[in-house]
């Protein structure tokens, strides 16, 4: 069943938002807003399962939120969400349902494919426990790329405090031999388990690295492929053809970038064990219920998705920076780049019509204070505005209380500095640092001033646990769904990666032959340089 819901720009709320933007929305000053309303923090903060969000340092007021919520209703967000959760084939360009939420529903829930999901989950977790108990296996190498890499690669270090100390996890994704070579160098074939992770089991990079791993294994005297290789895939037949007999499957309704909850999560389960993997799923499920049941005005993924639309389409901000103040979340920005930009980096609507407005922002970032000593200069004083998303964790899993206090103070200071700024007069009133003799104090003060009024969101977790991490990741998934639904795009296909793959297949034999016939002059010139002796 497909019900037609209007695209965001065809709604009355969109027109109302444009009027609001022109009238005063674009001029909102955070410092004035806080001075006017002592209740602003409470009014614009939300407690979702495991995640507290302070949205008060965003460029919104009650009217902005009112119109954005109207927009969500007019675009049929709730009906679209319910259609996804019911398992309708909302990924229409691939003719598939979108049911990553079914992967974390508890056993016995009335969700689609519940018995199948729990059958594979139990088998995968039993195997993970078997590997954890096997003292002869010390190294696990996950070979996969994109969604078959980024989720486990992000989650395993995030849950380091919960990890089995006798197992080293390695991740090989790039078809560049500089990725797998140093990993293999340190390994003993008899103590290594390779997991070939690929939804399709056809991805060039993964198949090439898996072949290298198998060749290395045999050359090193390894014999028992069945014991030392496992696969996680929807293409069990192709895995068997490769020689892998231990295979955990999943389904076409699990998108690659939404797949860490499926068998693709095997490296996570080996690292942290079955109970912690189940806690990760339970945390995600708690966020699923919040997304499904909380009123829109109090629904965190919805509010974040609406902010994305407000910033991208009204303020015209082109990117969002994610700043996790937890080293374990170092790969979260990379994970979010696939989740958000592969999902919402689209330029036509569901009917194939070109969109007259922008969609996915660029998502980027680095862990907390490292970013401060690199690109935060641009965030504070650059010409463009980049909304920043701070992620802080109240209780660390280490014992260095002093380090943690400094980390949290840095996190709070950055969002404060972005908002408050510093006028040239304030800078001039400070004791001037040494500058060139011919630079006037007023000029120096302008260099040292900050515009302020730069927006940020702060997300707080009580602790980084399997449960809270599951909730945090699911929050991001539903946020992407929200903005994608309003933009009227298909957030669940990825046709944009196909052209490069096809051209790569055509160029590969030419690299060997040096044949440049019919190529554009640039590609021909580069290929000739790479081919020449
Ligand atoms: O790069 C495109 C893509 O299809 C991603 O969507 C996916 O996560 C990745 O390749 C890997 O695909 P597979 O799991 O089939 O190897």
What confidence tens digit (pLDDT) does each residue in 398-420 have? 999 999 999 999 999 999 999 99
Range of the domain at 207: 100-274
Active site residues: 342, 373, 501
How far is it, in rounded angstroms, from Cα 173 to Cα 183? Answer: 11
Q: Exposed e or buried b for every residue in 472-510, given b needs 16+ CB within 10 A?
A: bbbbbbbbbbbbbbbbbbbbbbbeeeeeeeeeeeeeeeb
Number of domains within the chain: 2
CA distance 410 to 296: 32
Mean pLDDT of 65-93: 98
Q: Chain-wide mean pLDDT for the chain?
A: 97
Q: Are 253 and 87 in contact (CB under 8 A)?
A: yes
Q: Mind listing the pLDDT tens digit for each residue in 478-491?
A: 999 999 999 999 99
The DSSP string of 394-427 is EE-SSS-HHHHHHHHHHHHHHHHHHHH-B-HHHH
What's the CATH number where 106 sits? 3.40.50.10490
The secondary structure element, H or E, covering residue 481 is helix 466-487
| Strands 362-364, 192-197: pairing kind | unpaired
Ligand 1 neighbour 147 (Cβ under 6 A): yes
Q: Decide if 58 contacts 456 (C-beta within 8 A).
A: yes
494 lines ligand 1 (CB under 6 A): yes
Q: Does 232 contact ligand 1 (Cβ within 6 A)?
A: no
Q: Does residue 64 form part of some domain? A: no
Quick one: which of 447, 494, 533 has its CA closest to 200? Answer: 494
Distance 465 CA to ligand 1 centre (A): 27
Question: Residue 509 falls within a domain, yes or no?
Answer: yes
Question: Does the beta carbon of 146 lie inside 6 Å of ligand 1?
Answer: yes
Residue 356 C-beta-side C-alpha neighbours within 13 Å: 4
Distance, in Å, from the CA atom of 242 to the CA atom of 251, rounded to the nearest integer, reads 20
Q: Is 326 in the pocket of ligand 1 (CB under 6 A)?
A: no
Atom of ligand 1 nearest to the CA of 148: 14
Domain membership flag for residue 370:
no
pLDDT band at 4 (very low <50, low <70, confident <90, very high): confident
Q: What are the structure tokens assigned to 214, written together? A: 């198998």
* 422-473 tens-digit pLDDT: 999 999 999 878 888 899 999 999 999 999 999 999 999 999 999 999 999 9
Q: What is the pLDDT of residues 79-90, one digit of tens each?
A: 999 999 999 999
Q: Which atom of ligand 1 is nearest to the CA of 144?
A: 16
The closest-lying atom of ligand 1 relative to the alpha carbon of residue 150 is 8
When pLDDT is cut at 50, 70 and 90, the band that residue 65 belongs to is very high
Q: Could you tell me if residue 126 is inside a domain?
A: yes
**Looking at the domain assignment, is residue 490 inside a domain?**
no
pLDDT digits (tens, 9 = 90+) for 236-291: 999 999 999 999 999 999 999 999 999 999 999 999 999 999 999 999 999 999 99
pLDDT at 2 > cutoff 90: no
Domain boundary among 274, 307, 333: 274
If DSSP codes are grouped into helix, strand and coil, which group holds residue 11? coil
Phi/psi for 295 (5° steps) reads -55, 145
Give the Cβ contact number of residue 353 at 10 Å. 11
Domain boundary (259, 274, 289) is at 274
DSSP class of 47: E
Residue 246 within any structural domain of the chain: yes
Question: Ramachandran region of residue 488, left (φ > 0), alpha (ψ -120 to 50) or beta?
Answer: left
Please report whether residue 170 resides in a domain: yes
Q: Whose CA is nearest to atom 16 of ligand 1?
A: 198
pLDDT tens sequence across 359-406: 999 999 999 899 999 999 999 999 999 999 999 999 999 999 999 999
3-class state of residue 358 by DSSP: coil
Question: Which of 213, 247, 274 finishes a domain?
Answer: 274
Q: What is the CA radius of gyration of the chain?
A: 25
- pLDDT for the residue numbered 533: 67
Q: What pLDDT is attached to residue 1?
A: 46
Summarize pLDDT for 166-220 with one digit per residue, the tens. 999 999 999 999 999 999 998 999 999 999 999 999 999 999 999 999 999 999 9
pLDDT tens-digit series, residues 190-199:
999 999 999 9
In a domain, 92, yes or no: no
Nearest one of 50, 144, 115, 114 to 467, comparing CA atoms: 50
In whole angstroms, what is the distance from residue 481 CA to residue 486 CA?
A: 9
Rounded CA-CA distance 74/15 in Å is 12
DSSP per residue, 168-229: EEEEE--SSHHHHHHHHHT--GGGEEEEEE-SSS--HHHHHHHHHHHHHHHHTT---HHHHE
Q: What is the pLDDT of residue 242?
A: 93
């Amino acid at each position: 069943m497909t019900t037609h819901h209007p695209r965001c720009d065809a709604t009355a709320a969109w027109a109302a938002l444009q009027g609001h933007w022109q009238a005063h929305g674009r001029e909102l000053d955070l410092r004035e807003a806080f001075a006017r309303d002592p209740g602003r923090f409470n009014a614009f903060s939300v407690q979702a399962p495991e995640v507290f969000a302070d949205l008060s340092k965003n460029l919104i007021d009650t009217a902005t939120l009112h119109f954005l919520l109207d927009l969500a209703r007019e675009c049929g967000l709730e009906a679209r969400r319910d259609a996804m959760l019911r398992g309708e084939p909302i990924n229409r360009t691939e003719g598939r349902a979108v049911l990553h939420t079914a992967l974390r529903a508890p056993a016995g829930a009335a969700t689609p494919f519940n018995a199948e999901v729990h059958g594979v989950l139990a088998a995968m977790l039993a195997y993970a426990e078997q590997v954890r108990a096997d003292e002869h296996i010390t190294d696990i190498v996950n070979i996969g790329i994109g969604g078959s890499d980024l989720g486990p690669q992000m989650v395993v270090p995030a849950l380091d405090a919960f990890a089995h100390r006798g197992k080293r996890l390695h991740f090989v994704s790039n078809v560049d031999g500089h990725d797998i070579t140093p990993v293999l160098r340190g390994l003993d074939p008899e103590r290594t388990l390779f997991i070939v992770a690929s939804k399709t089991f056809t991805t060039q990079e993964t198949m090439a690295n898996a072949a290298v791993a198998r060749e290395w294994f045999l050359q090193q005297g390894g014999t028992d492929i069945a014991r030392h290789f496992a696969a996680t895939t929807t293409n069990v037949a192709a895995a068997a053809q490769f020689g892998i007999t231990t295979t955990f499957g999943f389904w076409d309704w699990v998108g690659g970038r939404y797949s860490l909850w499926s068998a693709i999560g095997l490296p996570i389960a080996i690292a942290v064990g079955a109970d912690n993997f189940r806690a990760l799923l339970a945390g995600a499920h708690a966020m699923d219920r919040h997304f499904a049941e909380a009123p829109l005005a109090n629904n965190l993924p919805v509010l974040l998705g609406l902010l994305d639309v407000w910033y991208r389409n009204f303020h015209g901000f082109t990117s969002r920076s994610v700043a996790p103040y937890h080293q374990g979340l170092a790969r979260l920005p990379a994970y979010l780049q696939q989740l958000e930009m592969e999902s919402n980096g689209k330029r036509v609507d569901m009917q194939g019509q070109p969109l007259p407005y922008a969609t996915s922002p660029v998502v980027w970032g680095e862990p907390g204070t490292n970013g401060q000593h690199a690109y935060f200069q641009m965030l504070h004083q650059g010409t463009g505005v980049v909304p920043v998303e701070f992620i802080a964790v109240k209780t660390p899993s280490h014992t260095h209380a002093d380090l943690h206090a400094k980390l949290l103070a840095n996190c709070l200071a950055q969002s404060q500095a972005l908002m408050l700024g510093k006028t040239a007069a304030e800078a001039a009133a400070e004791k001037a640092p040494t500058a060139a003799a011919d630079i006037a104090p007023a000029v120096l003060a302008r260099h040292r001033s900050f515009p302020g009024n730069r927006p940020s969101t702060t997300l707080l977790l009580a602790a980084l646990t399997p449960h809270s991490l599951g909730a945090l990741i699911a929050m991001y998934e539903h946020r992407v769904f929200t903005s994608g639904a309003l933009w009227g795009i298909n957030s669940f296909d990825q046709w944009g990666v196909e052209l490069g793959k096809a051209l790569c297949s055509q160029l590969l034999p030419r690299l060997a032959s040096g044949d440049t016939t019919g190529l554009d002059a640039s590609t021909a010139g580069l290929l000739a340089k790479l081919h020449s002796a």
